Amino acid sequence: MKPAKRTRRRREPKNQVRVSRPGLRQRLSVWRDLHAYSLVSSLGRIVARPFATGLTVAVMGIALALPLGLGLLLGELERLAGQWRESRDIGLYLRVEVDASGARALQDTLGRDPEVASVVLRSPDEGLSELATDPDLAAMFAALESNPLPWVAVVTPAAAVDPAALSERLGALPEVELAQHDAAWRARLNALLALGRRAAILAAVLLGLGALLVVGNTVRLDIQARADEITTVQLLGGSDGFVRRPFLYLGVWYGLLAGVLALSLALAGNWSLQAPVAALAASYGGDFALRGLSAADAFGVLGLALLLGWLGAFLAVGHHLRRHRQAN
């Protein structure tokens, strides 16, 4: 019977050091520290050159403020036009020979029409009183011996009725001299508002692209100024993400500052127009006031500015890293 072989225990060298793999908490701590360092260092580079930073932020802020102001103006015009579009009333100007009894008889007849929601009569004296409030017309109407204005019936169509078709039908009544419904004017207004929306979108795209190019060019100049530093980091084993990170935060800072400037310009413009718009609305007997930006709109503008700054820096750094790999 053969004796069992002894297995030799493998001895490890005394100078060998075991390196344990870092845990998840340690990796998250390193990731957090790297991002915090890049965030603070990029802010320091912006503060260290205030003139160049101010020029870049000013160009970006104005590029973002122009479509923002156009969009705000278009929104206010649509809100004002919405008040006009809500009025579906039809004005029926009766013949001069129609007296008060004939006007009230027509009101009763139209009130029984299923396509009519309501009918309101305005006497010639009421119309004259409204026109006489204008100082330019008061002297002219005071010189008249009699009231030349006819009775007017203001007809409100039912909800499911086409006002244009109802206006055409009521205009054919024998008591009606003229039926007025501004359907063509409302159609032109809708077309102008649609054109304004297209123009605002086009301006936002072009000026947003301009802001993107401004950030990209500014970051590219910063990359060229730090080319030796970047090369050294890459020779020491720094990854593309490590090289890219501070420049991405640099673009984010540019976008944030430009977004704040754009919002400030929009708010200043809205504040400067409040009094003239209120005075103009009061002259027409209205109380229209500018609303300005909501909190959601403001955060949306800041988010878009941050995205443009980040994307411009990402493209600039990516272009530099691709050229470096091709050169090597």
CATH number where 125 lies: 3.30.70
For residues 192 and 294, state if they share a domain.
Answer: yes
Residue 147 in domain: yes
For residues 111 and 48, state if they share a domain.
Answer: no
Q: What pTM value is reported for the model?
A: 0.65
Tokens 């109380």 belong to residue: 287
Single residue among 151, 174, 197 that ends a domain in this structure: 174
pLDDT at 14 over 90: no
Q: List beta partners, residue 118.
A: 156
What is the extent of the structural domain holding 117? 96-174
For residues 149 and 52, state if they share a domain.
Answer: no
Distances (CA, A) of 234 to 164, 198, 324: 73, 47, 10
What integer pLDDT is reported at residue 286 of this predicted model? 60
What integer pLDDT is reported at residue 149 of this predicted model? 80
For residues 81 and 104, state if they share a domain.
Answer: no
What integer pLDDT is reported at residue 82 of this predicted model? 63
For residues 144 and 65, state if they share a domain.
Answer: no
For residues 209 and 282, state if they share a domain.
Answer: yes
For residues 193 and 169, state if they share a domain.
Answer: no
Single residue among 174, 198, 213 that ends a domain in this structure: 174
Tokens of 309: 């700054």
The one-letter code for the residue type at 323 is R
Q: What is the rounded CA–CA span in Å between residue 181 and residue 166? A: 10
Tokens of 67: 């479509």
For residues 214 and 316, state if they share a domain.
Answer: yes
What integer pLDDT is reported at residue 306 of this predicted model? 92
